[in-house]
């Protein structure tokens, strides 16, 4: 239920000054990392179709873990920033 209130508050965020000065940077970084993650996933799918050895496997695992870690980190950070921006716009009633 709380998540739904945050989703409904997103349109009210447009045009308001940001409390976090890194919000735009976080948004851009999250979009860039998501695009890189998609490209790496396509590269891995194509690489697995080719003949390979154990070195190729470890190379694939290494790059996917690096980019996957950055992907998760950027999305978690962006969601935290978004919640901190939306918190003043969302009204919660405490059930008694």
State both tokens at 44: 């891995």
Distance between CA 79 and CA 7 in Å, rounded?
Answer: 12
For residue 94, what pLDDT band results from cuts at 50, 70 and 90?
low
Say if residue 95's pLDDT is above 60. no
The number of beta carbons lying within 10 Å of the beta carbon of residue 53 is: 7
For residue 93, what pLDDT band results from cuts at 50, 70 and 90?
low
Mean pLDDT of 76-86: 83
Distance between CA 93 and CA 5 in Å, rounded?
Answer: 11
Q: Cβ distance 60 to 44 under 8 Å?
A: yes
Predicted local confidence at residue 52, as pLDDT: 67
- Written as one string, the DSSP assignment of 19-66 is SSTTHHHHHHHHHHHHHHHHHHHHHHHHHHHS---HHHHHHHHHHHHH
For 43-80, how does the pLDDT look when each residue is reduced to its tens digit (9 = 90+)? Answer: 777 777 767 677 777 877 887 788 788 888 888 888 88
**Can you give the pTM of this predicted structure?**
0.62
């Amino acid at each position: 239920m709380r998540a739904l209130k945050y989703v409904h508050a997103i349109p009210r965020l447009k045009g308001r000054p940001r409390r976090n000065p890194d919000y735009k940077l976080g948004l851009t970084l999250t979009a860039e990392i998501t695009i890189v993650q998609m490209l790496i996933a396509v590269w891995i799918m194509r690489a697995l179709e080719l003949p390979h050895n154990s070195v190729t496997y470890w190379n694939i695992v290494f790059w996917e873990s690096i980019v996957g870690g950055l992907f998760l980190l950027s999305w978690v950070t962006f969601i935290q920033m978004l919640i901190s921006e939306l918190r003043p716009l969302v009204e919660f009633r405490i059930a008694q």
